[in-house]
Chain A
Amino acid sequence: MQSLKPQGRKSISYAKYGYFFILPFFIVYVFFMIYPLINTFRLSLYGNGGSADTMVGFQNFKWILFGGSRPAKAIHEEFIRSLGNTVILWVGNFVPQIILSLLLAVWFTDSKVKIKGTGAFKVIMYMPNIITATSVCGLFLILFGNTKYGAVNAMLLDMGTITEPVRFVDNVTSSRIIVMFIQTWMWFGNTMILLMSGIMGIDLSLFEAASIDGASSGQVFFKITLPLLKPIFLYVLITSMIGGLQMYDVPYLFHEGAGQDAIRKQLETVAVFVYKHFHLTSPNYGYSAAASVILFFITGILGLLVYRFNTSSDDRAAAKSNRKKSKNSKLLGGF
C-alpha cells in the first residue's frame, strides 16, 4: 500500500546527514581560516604599535604605497624594496627551475630514449624538497660563510684564488644567487613530477603519428608536447607564482648573526616584511595586515592576468562548452 503514501515521504534525502559529517571541517575552517582572513582585512585599517586599537582608515595603505613623512617614507621604501626582492628572487628561481624540470620531464618520459632507473632519479631529484628549509639554509650558511671559516672561502683562500674572504652572505648579488639556487634546487624535482604527469597524460598515438610522419624530436616537443602540456604548465606557473610571492623561509633564514635585524635587506621579501612588522616589541599589526592585503590583491590580479594571457578567447569558449567532454579543458575550467 506504499503507493498511497504522500509523495514527499516516498524518498528520503540523506544529503543533509552528509552535511553533518562534514560540519567539523567547516567549523575548524571558519575559525582558523575565514576568521583570520577577515581579521587581516580589519587589522589593515587599524593603527600600529601602541595605537593598535584606533581605526586609521586607509592610512597604512597610503603610507605603504605612497610614502610621505619620515616613517611613512621608511615604510614605503621598505615595502617597495621587499616587493622588488620578491620579484627578483622569484624570477631568478622560476626560470632555471622550469627549464630544468621541463628538460628532465621530457627526457624521462621519452619512449625513444628509455632512460633506465627513472624511479631512482625521480626520488633523488625530489629529495631536496623533503629536507626542511631550515636545514638547507644551515647547510648553505656553513658552505658560504662570510669569513675565512666558511667552507667555500676556506677552499678559495687555500687555493690562492682570493686573498680576502668574500662576504657571500652579505653581498647583494651572491646572496641572491645562492637563495635562487636553493629555491631552484629544492623545487625542480617537484615541478618535474608535475610536468611528467602532464606529459604522460598526452595521448601516445599523437607521438606515434608524429614519428611515422617523420617529425624531428624538436618538432615533437614544440608542436605536440608543449601545446598539449599548456594546462599543466599554466597550473605550475600560477602555483609557483603564488608560492613565489609568498616566499619566506629561505630568504628569512639566510643570514648570519642573531636577531631579525640581521636578516639581509636584499633578501627581504614581502612575507618577511609582514613577519618583521608583527614581530616587533610593540607589533605593527597595521602595516603587516595592509601589506598582506596588498599582496593578496597583487597575487589575485597576476593570477588572473597569467590565466588570460595563456588562454585565447577560443580556448575559454571551448573550455566552457566542452567542460564535460575534454579532460584538458576540464582542468582549465577548474581555475
Chain B
Amino acid sequence: MKNLKKKLALLAALACAGTMLAGCGGGDDTTGGDTAEGGDNAAVDNGGDSAETTTMNEEEQAAANEAAAVELADDGDKLTILCWTGDDLNGMIDMFCSENPDYAGKVEWVQQGTAGGEAREQYKQYLSGDGDADLLVLEADWILEYLTDEYTVPLSSLGIDKSAYNDAYPYTVAIGTDEQGILRGATWQAAPGGFVYRTDLAEQYLGVKTPEEMQDKIGDWSKFEEAAKTVAEASEGKTAMTATLGGLWQVYQANRTQPWVKDNKLVLDNAEGFIDLAKSYYDNKYVTDGTQWNDGWYALGQDGSALGYFLSTWGVKDTTASVLANVEGCKDNGASWADNHGLYNICIGPQNYFWGGSWLAVSTKCDNKTIATDFVNFFTTNKDTMQKYAETSGDFVNNKAAMDAIVAAGTNSNSLLGGQDQFAVLAEAANGINMDGLITKYDSAVKSSFNTAVTDYATGVTASKDDALNAFQDDIASKYPELNWD
C-alpha cells in the first residue's frame, strides 16, 4: 500500500514536470522549423561582405553596387513589410494588389510601434526573432542604422540599379545610400516642405492676397523675421508668425553644411545661430510656446495664435487625418469642420527643406524576391504607377516626371488649401534639397537633444546660451561616450 502511495506521488510529480517539458518541446519544434530558413539567410549574409570604403566615381560605384548584390530566396509565403504607418501601407498594398491581381492576398504589413522612434527599436527585436520580414520601412533620421549588412541587402539584389532612380529627387537617393556608397533604400515619397498659412490673417496683418505675394514677404530668413515682426506688432502679440520651435528647426536645419558628426566629433555648424534665432523669436512672440504633436499644436491655428505652420507633403495631404485637417478642426472624419476649413494656402517659405518621409529597404530575411522586386519597382521606379498613386492618395511621389505631369495637367486641387495645388509649390522645393553627406546615424539622437536644449533656453529653463550649448553637448557626450571629446 505504501509503495502504491509512493508511486502515485512520483507519478504526480512527473506529470507536473512533464507539462513543463511539453511546453519546452513545443518551443523546440518552432525553432527547429525555422532553422532551415535561417540556413538560407546565413548564405545571404555571407554574400554581402564586399563593400568598398574608398571614394569611387560613378562607374566604380555602379560596379560596387553590382558586386554587393546577394542571392535572395524566392520561396516565401507572403511579402511581409515592417512599418509603423499601417494606414499608409494599407492603401499602397490595396493599389498594388488591384493592379497585380496575381499578388492579391500575398502582401501584408506588420505594425511595429506607432511612431518612427518606436519602430527603430522594435525592428531590431523583431528581426532577431524568427518572424518573417521582406521589406522594411525606414525613416531618414535613423535609416543609416539599418543600411548595413546586418539588416538589409543592397537594392541591386533585386536587380534594381541605381540608374533606375535618375528621375527620383536626388536627396532621397542620397539618404538611401549607405556609408560605402551602395544603394540600399529607395522611397516612394519625397517630403519637401513649405509654409502653410492662414490667408485671412495674412491679409489682415501682412496685406498679402496670393501665395506668390506671401512668398515675396517671407522668401528668406531676414524677410521672414521682418514679416514676423509686422505680424506680432499688428496683432499686439496675439498672433505669432509660426507655430512651434520644433517646426522652425525643421526648416533651419536645411542650412547645415556639415553632418552632425564628422571625424568622430560633434560639429555644431549652424546650431549656435539657431539658438540665438530661437531665443529672439520666442521672446518677441514670433513663435508660440506650443509643442509639436499635441492637442495644443492644432489649436494654435484654430484660434489664430499662429499664422502658419511649417508642414511637408504628408502634413497637407487632402485627407481627414492629416495634420492640416486637424489644424482646420476636422471632426468626426470630416463630418464637421471648424470655421477655417480651406482657409489655408501654401508657399515655399524662407528655405527649401524636407521633413520626414519613409524609405523601403530589403531585409536580409527576404524570401520573396519576385514580389519584393515588383513592389519596390511599382512604387519607386515605375513612373506610371507612381503617378497613379500620387493622384489617388495625394502623396507626393518620388518621381520628377510623374510630379511634373501632374502639375502640368493642373488637375490636383487640395480642398484643405482652398483648392490650391500643393504639388506645384512643393515640386519646386523638392529640387532644391541637398542632403549629400549630411546624414549620420547619430541624427535622431542629436536632433532630439538639440531641440530640448533650444526649447529649454528659449522658455527660460536654462539661463544662458552657454548653458544651453553645454547641456546639449553633455547630453550627447553621455549618449555617445565613444565620440572624440577632446
| Chain A interface residues (CB < 8 Å from chain B) | 12, 14, 17, 20-21, 23-24, 27, 48-51, 63, 69-75, 77-78, 145-149, 165, 167, 170-172, 256-262, 277, 279-282, 284, 287
Contacts and interface: CB of A to CB of B under 8 A. Distances in A.
Given A12-B6, A69-B485, A149-B295, A261 B475 contact: yes
Given A75-B477, A280-B445, 9 more contacts: A49-B480, A70-B477, A71-B477, A73-B477, A74-B474, A145-B296, A149-B299, A167-B460, A279-B121
B164 interface: no
Contacts of A170: 456, 459, 461
Query: Interface centre among A49, A149, A171, by most B CB within 10 Å?
Result: A149
A71 B291 contact: no
Contact of B294 (A20, A24, A63, A256): A256
Contact of B478 (A51, A74, A146, A172): A74
A50 B482 contact: yes
Interface residues of B, number: 53
A47 B449 CA distance: 23
Contact of B474 (A48, A77, A258, A279): A77
Nearest to B121: A279
B222 interface: no
Contact of A281 (B16, B445, B475, B481): B445
Given A24-B16, A261-B451, A17 B10 contact: yes
Contacts of A287: 478
Contacts of A21: 13, 16
B478 A12 contact: no
21 contacts: A14-B9, A17-B13, A24-B16, A24-B20, A51-B482, A69-B485, A71-B481, A72-B481, A74-B473, A74-B475, A75-B477, A75-B481, A78-B474, A146-B459, A147-B291, A257-B294, A260-B448, A277-B478, A281-B142, A282-B480, A284-B478
Interface in B77-117: 115, 117
Query: Interface centre among A51, A69, A71, A165, by most B CB within 10 Å?
Result: A71
Given A48-B481, A261-B451, A284-B481, A17 B9 contact: yes
Nearest to B2: A12
A334 B109 CA distance: 54
Query: Interface centre among B16, B455, B481, B486, by most A CB within 10 Å?
Result: B481
B428 interface: no
Contacts of A277: 478
The 10 closest A-B pairs by CB, nearest first: A20-B13, A71-B481, A70-B485, A74-B474, A74-B477, A261-B448, A149-B296, A71-B477, A74-B478, A259-B448
Contact of A284 (B17, B459, B479): B479
B326 to A, nearest CB: 14
Majority-rule SS of B interface residues: helix
Contact of A261 (B17, B115, B452, B482): B452
B219 interface: no
B289 interface: yes
Contacts, number: 117
B288 interface: yes
A87 to B, nearest CB: 21
A70 B483 CA distance: 10
Nearest to A142: B295
A12 B474 CA distance: 67
Contacts of A167: 289, 459-460
Interface string B142-168: 100100000000000000000000000
Interface of B: 2, 5-6, 9-10, 12-13, 16-17, 20, 115, 117, 120-121, 142, 145, 246, 288-296, 299, 305, 441-442, 444-445, 448-449, 451-452, 455-456, 459-461, 473-475, 477-483, 485-486
A75 to B, nearest CB: 5
A73 to B, nearest CB: 8
A165 B300 CA distance: 14
Contacts of A50: 482
Nearest to B456: A170
A23 B17 contact: yes
Contacts of B483: 71
A165 B294 CA distance: 17
A63 B452 CA distance: 25
Contacts of A165: 289
A219 B413 CA distance: 82
A62 to B, nearest CB: 12
A24 B24 CA distance: 12
A147 B478 CA distance: 30
Query: Interface centre among A51, A148, A284, by most B CB within 10 Å?
Result: A148
A277 to B, nearest CB: 8
B451 to A, nearest CB: 7
B262 to A, nearest CB: 17
Contacts of B117: 258-259
Contacts of B294: 256-257
B26 to A, nearest CB: 16
A325 B460 CA distance: 62
A69 to B, nearest CB: 6
A216 to B, nearest CB: 51
Given A49-B481, A74-B478, A284-B479, A258 B115 contact: yes
Contact of A146 (B17, B291, B475): B291
A280 B296 contact: no
A235 B302 CA distance: 54
B13 A147 contact: no
B47 to A, nearest CB: 24
Nearest to A165: B289
A281 B482 contact: no
A287 B480 CA distance: 11
Contacts of B10: 17
Given A147-B289, A165-B289, A167-B459, A261 B481 contact: no
Given A48-B482, A72-B481, A281 B441 contact: yes
A14 B120 CA distance: 53
Contacts of A280: 445, 479
B202 to A, nearest CB: 22
A145 to B, nearest CB: 7
A333 B118 CA distance: 47
B459 A262 contact: no
Nearest to A70: B485
Nearest to A287: B478
Nearest to B9: A17
Contacts of A23: 16-17
Nearest to A21: B16
B459 to A, nearest CB: 6
Nearest to B479: A280
Nearest to B451: A261
Contacts of B291: 146-147, 256-257
A147 B479 CA distance: 30
Nearest to B295: A149
Given A14-B9, A51-B482, A27 B20 contact: yes
Contacts of B292: 257-258
A69 B10 CA distance: 63
